[in-house]
Copies of this chain bind each other. A is one copy, B any other.
């Protein structure tokens, strides 16, 4: 497990105080925590008199473009001065930086700030706090220690980072410290209602069309304990759905009252099916593992190279087996 020492943390604080210019980068397929953390530390360091350049391997998603500074994030590899320190945010390893990996590796000093338990400690200095609900929570602590006063927009970026990585304080990773930080951030005059509407509730029309199809195809097994649905490639194309529009659809299968295990089949071709698993109590990482997949106890998946009917029968059989095991 990745851990950081006080010495390393102090060294990082020293570098942030003493150096004048930084590169900041967060991971590919950016989420609210990676973008919020990037923008927050970026603006805070600028307010502190530093020069920063911000990068992500993919575009900032539409729904985070309202955050101040989002327009300054570049997808071009403009890290041309290898003597500068690069701060890598929310990335468990350097591969998550996609086509930026090589260039980042060339920089003299790499500061690795992350909360993932799988973090590879790839930095020259590592600040990995696995008990933090979000990288944004770690950034908040760093800025406090640096005695950099937060602006309202820095607070807003940190709030988005923390709120998105905790599903608005719903996930198990939410701790008393998470709420304490959220409390301090709201003191800057944030409007949690308007922010939450932007980052949580709003989804695209194709998402809702896909949801309709998923609900129309719902099948219930094992006296209501298993719910499954199937999305063909054809349906996804007809709805004009991008991969982002499919995000979260599988959750609805699990959220049905009485259901223990939700399954969503994405038919990719005549002999390829992607399968998503969600559960309330049963260990779906074990279920996925038996089918050459992986994941977490409550959210996992696999990919099987057979026709849909064969895959469905195989998955259902294993799902029934796992249901009869004691919960974890």
Asked if A234 is at the interface of the complex by the 8 Å CB criterion, the answer is no
Q: Which residue of B168, B191, B192, B257 is within 8 Å of A203 (Cβ)?
A: B257
User: Taking the nearest CB of chain B, how far is it from the CB of A216, in angstroms?
Assistant: 6
Interface bits A201-216 vs B (CB < 8 Å: 1, else 0): 1111100110110011
Most B CB contacts (10 A, CB to CB) among A174, A251, A252 go to A174
Which B residues are CB-close (under 8 A) to A171? 192-193, 196
Q: Are B202 and A257 in contact (CB under 8 A)?
A: yes
- Collect the chain B residues with CB atoms within 8 Å of residue A183's CB: 176-180, 183
Measured in the bound complex, the distance between the Cα atoms of B224 and A193 in whole Å is 22
Partner of A180, one of B173, B177, B180: B180
A169 contacts B by Cβ under 8 Å: yes
Whether the pair B179, A186 counts as a contact (CB closer than 8 A) is: yes
Within 8 A of B (CB), among A203-240: 203-205, 208-209, 211-212, 215-216, 218, 220, 224
The yes or no answer to A145 lying at the interface (CB within 8 A) is no
Residues of B near A118 (CB, < 8 A) are none
Provide the residues of chain B in CB contact with A212, threshold 8 Å: 212, 215-216
- For the complex formed, measure the closest distance between the CB of A186 and the CB atoms of chain B, giving whole angstroms: 5
Contact B184 A172 (CB under 8 A): no
* A170, A186, A216, A257 pick with most chain B CB within 10 angstroms: A170
**A187, A191, A193: which has the most chain B beta carbons within 10 Å?**
A193
Check if A3 is an interface residue, CB within 8 A of chain B. Answer: no
Q: Is the CB of A169 within 8 A of B193?
A: no
Quick check: A186 and B175 within 8 Å, CB to CB? Answer: yes
**Which residues of A from 127 to 176 have beta carbons under 8 Å from B?**
163, 167-176
In the complex formed, the residue of B with least CB distance to A196 is B170
Q: How far is the CA of A315 from the CA of B179 in the complex (A)?
A: 42
| A328 proximal to B (CB < 8 A) | no
Q: List 9 A-B contacts (CB under 8 A).
A: A170-B200, A172-B192, A175-B186, A176-B186, A177-B183, A201-B251, A201-B255, A202-B257, A203-B256
Enumerate the 9 nearest inter-chain pairs by beta-carbon distance, A residue then B residue, closest first. Answer: A172-B193, A179-B183, A170-B196, A212-B215, A176-B183, A179-B182, A201-B255, A176-B186, A174-B192
Segment 41-91 of A: residues with Cβ below 8 Å from B: none
Residues of B within 8 A of A179 (CB): 179-180, 182-183, 186
Contacts of A193 in B (CB 8 A): 170-174
Residues of B within 8 A of A204 (CB): 256-257
A251 to B201, CA, bound (A): 9
A194 within 8 A of B: yes
